Chains A and B, each alone.
Chain A
Amino acid sequence: MRLAREDLFWRIEPLLSMVERPSRYLNHEWGAVEEQPGPFHVCVMYPDVYDVGLPNLGLAILYDELNRLDGISCERAYLPWIDMSALMRERNIPLLSLESSSPVASFDIVGITLAHELVCTNIVEVLDLSGITLRADERDEDEPFVVAGGPSVWNAEPVAPMFDAMLLGDGEHALALISECVRDGRAQGLARVDILRRLAKLPGVYVPSLYDVVVDQTSTRWGYAVPKEGESVPEVVYKHCIEHLSDTEPVAQRIVPYLTVVQDRLTVEVLRGCARGCRFCQAGMTYRPVRERPKDQIIEAVNRGLQTSGYDECCLSSLSTTDHSQCADVLHELYAELGEKGVRVSIPSQRLDSFGVDMASAARSSRKTGLTFAPEAGSQRLRDVINKNVTDQNMDEAARNAFENGYRRMKLYFMMGLPTETDEDLRGIARMAERVAQIGREVCGPRSRVTVSISVAVFVPKCQTPFQWEGQLPLEETHRRQHVMLEAATDRAVRISYHDAETSLIEGVLSKMGRTGFDLVLAAWKNGCRFDAWTDQFDFDRWNDAARGIGLDLEDIACERFDLDARLPWDHVSPGVSKGFLQREWRRAVDEQTTKDCTMNSCTGCGVCQTLRVSNDLAGERQ
């Protein structure tokens, strides 16, 4: 039901003294757009609490862009924490936006970020709390259009029934086009379904209700989506892709929160896309091609962003910042300018093979927190399988550089359960960590407090990657392999932590299923699941019960392998990387053959550039 647009802050104000962290619900932050004249109103929402959602750069970009447009206003909403949502339900208060404290169900468009698979139950919670009809095809004519976007749209089906439209790829300009399309359609008095048909013609927009799911002998048990009879919508929806990052506003993040949020700093996106070609990495396949922001624009943006926000830390973000052709120069220049002002400059994680001496010294402002590297696998053989083109020598040199530059802490990310993995590969992880600790002691002295923390995630096969046909490890086997690794690590300077195997299993299930996945998401939510990404809220038993209740077996789903030529549940949405390329990469993985990075070598034929008519856009020469 479409609710009336009215300021309902007075209804939640009395609750503020009864909940944890009331500043989550206050609005009025520095940089927030208080005036929301509309008349067309969009609400962008991150389906988790404020402190997790606020730093999201994607939403910040959309908020900034939409609020610059005439006649369109954009507000934010987040999912209240369980204490607040319980009180709101008790008192019949619907979910509200932040800026005007209006019901989310009063907006024209509600945009929801699919940040990862584990927000699925939160999306149900958001819609339920808002009072928006859960299934898009049952919504009233005047209800908001609920639109998804973000990094996890690539297996859209398990949440697709809740969305009127899903935006694939870059959000810049696209949500504006969607908003204008809905606005104009409404103004012309078009029926909801006709507006949806128009939306389906926009670049990168997938409208699930205009597609049917077919299961046949060419598909997996989850089927594949085809245009509904009589609907002229594309068989494959390709993503929306901007050509140059330099054409976008570099300081998108303008809102400065009161409470400490997950990443409490200015973020400037310096690079989009990564062509390293790691075969497990969904972002590496779905964000291509590579688009660099030029150095001068980065420096100007950092200075302007710091000045207008008042932050004392800036993060140069991307999938692989040290790959930026001007990264070392940018770091040196910023450090020289900002170090004396007590401003830190950080980069999210460092590539082993591009982390040279100059980067170690330029990134020295992060010395206290330590450096993070992601070798991902413990043996050269397995690194070749996953196309992680780094060597033991790269690791050793990067470690030596870092220790010589004063770092004492090092964090290494690995994955377990990768295709073809053996126990020997797992022991290799422990050996690599111990070797790094040993280098640390050689450089810093035997009594120095060098620590090497290794964090081991469970491999989850993701769609749109060369490993999308793979199955996940069964729980028991995951636990056995964790044990193998623990036994192999004897150095006291090495600390091992694991990602929870059961959480990863749910991630795997949701990455694999088709539209039937929605029945599972709904059953899990009805069973009390929400905030599944929070370790203290995640409840595997509830998920298991929910699955059993509808005749599904979670392990069976996550561990299933698909035939290489089967039609997959996500074949109708594409980031532009061809299925043929992914199949070829899968075969090369099995043969332990690596594939080079096209930003440093020639094109390797992934198909993005030809399909989307774009190309890598570098600011300088990469080495």
Chain B
Amino acid sequence: MSTLDPHACRLRVRYKKDGRLAHLGHLEVMGTVMRSVRRAGLPFEVSNGFARRMRIQFCQALPVGASSVAEYFDLLMPEPVNADEALDELRRCTPPSLAPLEAALLPRRLPALEAWADRTQWDVLLDGGVDKQQFIDGLEAALARGTLEFMRGDKPRKLDLVSTLVSCDASASEEGLRLVLQTRATERGSLRPAVLVRSVAGCEPSYVCRMGQWHENPDGTLLSPL
């Protein structure tokens, strides 16, 4: 007897991105995930209309070059499946550096992941040469100004640092200066670790990894996607 809830037709999967594949762009990751789903033979809904596409939702784009242990996608299915079996099948059909780590069935009707998961924790490493105190001073100065001004391509951009940076813990390690950043996505933008490091320390981070994503309740408590 199946005990699957007939309304739980959303398979939410947490997956990683590491090694060489950290250099993949968001579209490339999306394409690969969709092909992995097809290879795994999982049932999926297809959109109506002329271009019949797989109904799948992704979380906010991870910057090219960044790793992650907390990427998510939601696959909408015509009927519920066993999440553990689906995870096994997916694992078999996905390149190891994008391996799925966890899966669960969720109710069909949920807000889109991209907007819902608005809090992120990052692990960031700066190669030797950046002094901890100097970085903290620079960050405080930036927070005092309130906004970050930077270039995206050849366009100047501004971002409200006070609302998008929740916290930043810096610690010196053998490999260099390590930052643990908590960021928040707002309607007016979200903070990318490389942008912060560039503005504050004037260098590129040598390693960026998304460690977790959550939804922030109005009272500030965090809700996990799974």
Chain A proximity mask over B12-36: 1 for CB below 8 Å, otherwise 0 = 0000000111011101100110111
Can you give 9 contacting A-B residue pairs, CB < 8 Å? A27-B20, A28-B97, A29-B95, A30-B35, A30-B36, A256-B32, A258-B31, A310-B39, A342-B52
Cα separation A28 to B28 with both chains bound (whole Å): 14
Instruction: State whether the Cβ of A217 lies closer than 8 Å to any Cβ in chain B.
Output: no
Cα separation A312 to B54 with both chains bound (whole Å): 10
**Residues of A with C-beta under 8 A to B25:** 23, 259
Closest to B37 in A: A310
Contacts between chains A and B (CB distance < 8 A), count: 71
**Residues of A with C-beta under 8 A to B38:** 306-307, 310-312
Q: Which residues of B pack against A, CB within 8 Å?
A: 19-21, 23-25, 27-28, 31-32, 34-39, 41, 46, 50-54, 64-65, 93, 95, 97, 204
**Residues of B with C-beta under 8 A to A36:** none
Instruction: State whether the Cβ of A17 lies closer than 8 Å to any Cβ in chain B.
Output: yes
Closest to A365 in B: B52
Among A27, A259, A306, A367, which residue has the most Cβ atoms of chain B within 10 A?
A259
Are the C-beta atoms of B97 and A310 separated by less than 8 Å? no
Are the C-beta atoms of A307 and B39 separated by less than 8 Å? yes
Known: A259-B28, A342-B46, A368-B50. A307 touches B41 (CB 8 A): yes
Instruction: State whether the Cβ of A309 lies closer than 8 Å to any Cβ in chain B.
Output: yes
Chain B proximity mask over A180-209: 1 for CB below 8 Å, otherwise 0 = 000000000000000000000000000000
Are the C-beta atoms of A26 and B20 separated by less than 8 Å? yes
Q: Which of A1-52 contact B (CB under 8 A)?
A: 9, 13, 16-17, 22-23, 26-30
Q: How far is the CB of A13 from chain B (nearest CB, A)?
A: 8
Cα separation A183 to B21 with both chains bound (whole Å): 35
Q: How far is the CB of B198 from chain A (nearest CB, A)?
A: 13
**Residues of B with C-beta under 8 A to A28:** 19-21, 95, 97
Chain B proximity mask over A351-373: 1 for CB below 8 Å, otherwise 0 = 00000000000000001100000
Q: How far is the CB of A301 from chain B (nearest CB, A)?
A: 16
Instruction: State whether the Cβ of A297 lies closer than 8 Å to any Cβ in chain B.
Output: no
Cα separation A17 to B46 with both chains bound (whole Å): 36
**Residues of B with C-beta under 8 A to A341:** 46
Cα separation A13 to B95 with both chains bound (whole Å): 19
Q: How far is the CB of B187 from chain A (nearest CB, A)?
A: 29
Cα separation A310 to B52 with both chains bound (whole Å): 15
Closest to A17 in B: B65
**Residues of A with C-beta under 8 A to B37:** 310
Q: How far is the CB of A116 from chain B (nearest CB, A)?
A: 28
Are the C-beta atoms of B28 and A23 separated by less than 8 Å? yes
Q: Which residues of A pack against B, CB within 8 Å?
A: 9, 13, 16-17, 22-23, 26-30, 256, 258-260, 306-312, 340-342, 367-368
Could you list 6 further interchain pairs (A-B, Cβ under 8 angstroms) beyond the known A9-B20, A22-B23, A307-B38? A23-B24, A28-B97, A258-B32, A260-B31, A310-B36, A342-B54
A310 touches which one: B28, B35, B64 (CB < 8 A)? B35
**Residues of B with C-beta under 8 A to A260:** 27-28, 31
Closest to A22 in B: B23
Known: A23-B25, A310-B37, A342-B53. A30 touches B46 (CB 8 A): no
**Residues of A with C-beta under 8 A to B54:** 312, 342
A22 touches which one: B34, B50, B64, B93 (CB < 8 A)? B64
Task: Please provide the 7 A-B residue pairs with the shortest distance between their CB atoms, ordered closest to farther.
Answer: A310-B35, A342-B52, A310-B38, A310-B39, A22-B23, A342-B46, A258-B28
Cα separation A264 to B142 with both chains bound (whole Å): 45
Cα separation A256 to B35 with both chains bound (whole Å): 9
Are the C-beta atoms of A309 and B32 separated by less than 8 Å? no
Q: How far is the CB of B8 from chain A (nearest CB, A)?
A: 23
Among A23, A29, A258, which residue has the most Cβ atoms of chain B within 10 A?
A258
**Residues of A with C-beta under 8 A to B65:** 16-17, 22
Cα separation A59 to B67 with both chains bound (whole Å): 32
Q: How far is the CB of A139 from chain B (nearest CB, A)?
A: 33
Q: How far is the CB of A260 from chain B (nearest CB, A)?
A: 7
Are the C-beta atoms of B20 and A311 separated by less than 8 Å? no
Are the C-beta atoms of A30 and B20 separated by less than 8 Å? no
**Residues of A with C-beta under 8 A to B34:** 310, 312
Q: How far is the CB of A81 from chain B (nearest CB, A)?
A: 15
**Residues of B with C-beta under 8 A to A307:** 38-39, 41
Cα separation A27 to B24 with both chains bound (whole Å): 11
A26 touches which one: B21, B46, B53, B204 (CB < 8 A)? B21
B39 touches which one: A13, A23, A308 (CB < 8 A)? A308
Closest to A19 in B: B23
Are the C-beta atoms of A258 and B24 separated by less than 8 Å? yes
Q: How far is the CB of B43 from chain A (nearest CB, A)?
A: 10
**Residues of B with C-beta under 8 A to A367:** 50
B35 touches which one: A26, A311, A342 (CB < 8 A)? A311
**Residues of B with C-beta under 8 A to A312:** 34, 38, 54
Cα separation A260 to B50 with both chains bound (whole Å): 21
Are the C-beta atoms of B95 and A26 separated by less than 8 Å? no
Cα separation A308 to B93 with both chains bound (whole Å): 9
Cα separation A311 to B54 with both chains bound (whole Å): 12
**Residues of A with C-beta under 8 A to B204:** 17
Cα separation A307 to B51 with both chains bound (whole Å): 20
Are the C-beta atoms of A16 and B35 separated by less than 8 Å? no
**Residues of B with C-beta under 8 A to A17:** 23, 64-65, 204
Closest to B64 in A: A22
Cα separation A371 to B28 with both chains bound (whole Å): 28
**Residues of A with C-beta under 8 A to B23:** 16-17, 22-23, 26
Cα separation A309 to B34 with both chains bound (whole Å): 11
Cα separation A361 to B187 with both chains bound (whole Å): 46
**Residues of A with C-beta under 8 A to B32:** 30, 256, 258
**Residues of A with C-beta under 8 A to B19:** 28
Cα separation A211 to B30 with both chains bound (whole Å): 53
Cα separation A367 to B95 with both chains bound (whole Å): 33
Cα separation A311 to B20 with both chains bound (whole Å): 22
Closest to A340 in B: B46
Closest to A29 in B: B95
Q: How far is the CB of A98 from chain B (nearest CB, A)?
A: 11
**Residues of A with C-beta under 8 A to B20:** 9, 13, 26-28
Closest to B50 in A: A368
A30 touches which one: B24, B27, B28, B95 (CB < 8 A)? B95
Cα separation A532 to B25 with both chains bound (whole Å): 28
Q: How far is the CB of A464 from chain B (nearest CB, A)?
A: 40
**Residues of A with C-beta under 8 A to B39:** 30, 307-310
Cα separation A227 to B119 with both chains bound (whole Å): 74
Cα separation A361 to B204 with both chains bound (whole Å): 55
Q: How far is the CB of A9 from chain B (nearest CB, A)?
A: 8
**Residues of B with C-beta under 8 A to A30:** 32, 35-36, 39, 95
Cα separation A310 to B36 with both chains bound (whole Å): 6
Cα separation A30 to B97 with both chains bound (whole Å): 11
Cα separation A312 to B24 with both chains bound (whole Å): 20
**Residues of A with C-beta under 8 A to B53:** 342
Q: How far is the CB of B89 from chain A (nearest CB, A)?
A: 12
**Residues of B with C-beta under 8 A to A23:** 23-25, 28
Cα separation A306 to B34 with both chains bound (whole Å): 13
